[in-house]
Amino acid sequence: MDDTDRHLLSLLRANARESAALLARKLELARTTVVARIARLERDGVIAGYGVRLGQQLEQAAVRAYCGLSVAPRMGAGVVRALERLPEVEEVSAVSGQYDYMVLLHCETNEQLDALLDRIGLIEGIRQTHTSVVLSRKVDRRSAVAPPER
């Protein structure tokens, strides 16, 4: 993967529905070259699929929180399966340090977050939780980045 591939990926992360012609103009490449690069990235498994990013209005209205979980020994797999069934859970990461897992939660209201935390606390195997509500994002690399300097 070269700098052009990385720039292409950043453009696709910002808008996966952007036309190959517009991507080609932004990358200063031929449209057929961009189509071939995308096909190669898909074939190589670099691009595993395409998704939806919420609009700014809905995203800013959301309540996000990180929840650290301490889990009883040998209960991790069951806890992860239970978390997978909760649609408000965006990400579960096994981490080192004080907690076993960090969970990124996405709710529409504080009340929904409160109820979700109660449900998470009832999952068998969870010994302790610690939640931090996201006040604002200071860096978000999911949007397009500037092209590499030439």
pLDDT digits (tens, 9 = 90+) for 75-117: 999 999 999 999 999 999 999 999 999 999 999 999 999 999 9
pTM to 2 decimals?
Answer: 0.64
Cβ 108 vs Cβ 61: under 8 Å: yes
Q: In 3-state terms, what secondary structure has residue 76? A: helix
Instruction: State the pLDDT at residue 113.
Output: 97
pLDDT digits (tens, 9 = 90+) for 37-86: 999 999 999 998 887 666 565 556 589 999 999 999 999 999 999 999 99
Cβ 127 vs Cβ 74: under 8 Å: no
Name the DSSP letter for residue 52.
-
What distance in Å separates the CA atoms of residue 56 and residue 59, rounded to the nearest whole number? 5
- pLDDT bin (cut points 50, 70, 90) of residue 145 is very low
What distance in Å separates the CA atoms of residue 25 and residue 104, rounded to the nearest whole number? 36
Separation in Å, CA 80 to CA 1, 44, 65, 105: 33, 28, 17, 14
pLDDT digits (tens, 9 = 90+) for 7-42: 999 888 878 889 999 999 999 999 999 999 999 999
Phi, psi dihedrals of residue 17, rounded to the nearest 5°: -95, 0
Dihedral in degrees, nearest 10, Cα atoms 130, 135, 138, 141? 70
**Which run of H or E residues covers position 89?**
strand 89-94
Nearest Cα to 64, choosing from 24, 30, 91?
91
